[in-house]
Amino acid sequence: MIFTVTPNPAIDHTIRFDEPLQTGVVHRTDEQVFTAGGKGINVAKYVSALGVDTVASGFLGGYFGNFIRGRLDDDGIASEFVHIDAETRLNTTVLAEDGEYKLNHNGPHIQEAHVDELIKIVQQHEPETVIVGGSLPPGMSLSAVDELAAAGDWRMAVDMGGESLTQLDAEYFVCKPNRSELAAATGRDVETTDDAIAAANDLREHGFEYVLASLGADGALLVGENDVLSVPALEVDVVDTVGAGDAVLSGFLAGLDQGLGTDAALRMGVLTAARVVSVAGTRVPHLDDVLTSDTKVDVTSI
């Protein structure tokens, strides 16, 4: 079972205007979308669609928190969040003729007692894998992530900002940076595959057994102590790249949960991402046949 933790979830509110925005003008539109957002929540959606048992968790409060719980219930995804006496955040993206505007809340303040409750919830579920994804809310430190990593005998995965990865002190199974996060974590230029491998090896020295790097059109790399696996991106009609990195990690972890080796799990990650980028937003495409797909994916050992 894969247990996902989204420390700072949000309702993602997207609205679209077919005109440039102006001050002093009331702009109106009928085009709006509300979704339950956050890296861990995205992973829960994808691994559930892949047929793997999952539980989504994190910190939720107020009306927006109830909305997220309801959306997960509607999707048939089990969840057990820590209740907080503050409002879960709302992040708004405005798509207009003159550009894209993002307005994000910092999120509610988290107390140490909330983290303690979260750890108890995870321990009660006894998962094989725990993944922490996304930003940390005010009041929650990276030491809390370390504490969760050390609280049980599970594979611990993290998908967080690049600089955060080098500040973690516990032992981790895998982290999943993208190209820019890999550069931020190591201070290296990451232009080529060789650059990415060198940066991933630097990052491994901070306590990661594997670094799974999603490289967009260049595919993905899995760098471990004794091997480097490379897989190209599949040729698909890309509609939206939102959630692609989450999908790579989801497929990889789901493959391992199903008993696959790292090479086959990496293949599953790329297949999952190929499906996800073919639909808009973080809507979940048809994924339940990914494990049995005969699509050719070349996994190369470097």
The residues that are catalytic are 246
What torsion do the CA atoms of 160, 164, 165, 167 make, to the nearest 10 degrees?
Answer: -150
What is the amino acid identity at position 191? E
Which H helix or E strand runs over 279?
A: none
Q: What is d(CA 252, CA 254) in angstroms, rounded to the nearest whole number?
A: 6
Contact 4, 43 (CB under 8 A): yes
Both ends of the chain: CA-CA distance in Å?
Answer: 31
Q: What is d(CA 19, CA 183) in angstroms, rounded to the nearest whole number?
A: 36
Q: What is d(CA 3, CA 79) in angstroms, rounded to the nearest whole number?
A: 9
Encoded tokens for 270 = 């790329």
